[in-house]
Amino acid sequence: MKASMVLTGLLLAGCAAQPVTSPAPGGRWSADELGEPVAARWSLADPQASPDPGTSELALTIAEVPCSGGSPIEGRTEPPVIEMGVTSVTITIKVRQLVGGIQTCPLHMWPMTVRLPEPLGSRQLLDGGQVPPAPPQVP
């Protein structure tokens, strides 16, 4: 029981007050506010729709996994990594973590458009933010 209370305290410690929620003046995050990029989860903006085989542009909804205090991902997102396979297309979105303060953990969803280097065709879409990559789903 005591060990579970300590573990619970450690888990909650990363999601407390003092968030860094906006970029530095001028609208850009400073280098000391950003940490390593971490894979985010994504889904299609309209999860009920199936992309047309001829599409090469996808409207996605991004969910940042680490705590970020609800800060926007603009300026913290790495270019998407797109792996065009024979039977699947794996898209990995990475977002740089915020450092320099403890962040709250609201789950915020952010829109993003991704352009594929060629039409999707009959290939399955996979979210590279999941291990192993899996079909995208609303986090």
pLDDT for the residue numbered 7: 33
Whole-number pLDDT of residue 11: 37
- pLDDT < 50: residue spans in the chain: 1-32
Q: What is the pLDDT of residue 121?
A: 97
pLDDT confidence of residue 101: 62
pLDDT digits (tens, 9 = 90+) for 42-59: 999 998 888 999 999 999
How far apart are the two ends of the chain, measured CA to CA in Å? 31
Dist. CA 104–CA 19, nearest whole Å = 6
pLDDT score, position 108: 72
CB contact at 8 A, 124 and 90: no
Quote the pTM value. Answer: 0.71
H helices of the chain, in order, are: 2-13
